Amino acid sequence: MRARWIAGALVVVALSAGAGCSSSRTAARRPATIPSGRLASRPNIVFILTDDLSDNLMRYMPHVLALERRGATFSNYFVTDSLCCPSRTSIFTGLLPHDSGVFSNTGPDGGFNSFYRRGNTARTFAVAL
């Protein structure tokens, strides 16, 4: 069961509504505090996606193991598509394959070339942030 979970995908999304973004090294080391009852102006999001992790290689990745121990485990989850490229496109854009135009991993309707050609680079959550 663990191997299947690891091979599928390990996605850790840590949302902290109380932490703002800062370019200062000093500010980045201090924990951000927000008075009770107030919302942060911007969320602080850490998004880590690993894929195709072989169970026999996990012992060489102590940081991934630490994330697994301290993070969330999703044992009942859904994906928009079981193929890598359409699924990643959905993660990055929030669009389903029929809206993003990325249907496979290769060929004219798949892979990064299709993602790029259809303008999906401008629709990612990274651009929105």
Range of the domain at 24: 1-77
115 versus 49: which is more confidently predicted? 115
Query: Averaged over 118-126, what is the pLDDT?
Result: 93
56 and 86 share one domain: no
119 and 69 share one domain: no
The catalytically annotated residue of 47, 84, 104, 105 is 84
pLDDT tens digits, 4-45? 333 333 333 333 333 333 333 334 444 556 566 666 677 777
Residues 6+ apart with CB under 8 A from 78: none
71 and 18 share one domain: yes
Residues 6+ apart with CB under 8 A from 5: 73, 75
Check if 21 is active-site: no
pLDDT tens digits, 39-91? 667 777 777 777 777 888 888 888 888 887 887 777 787 888 889 999 999 99
The number of domains in the chain is 2
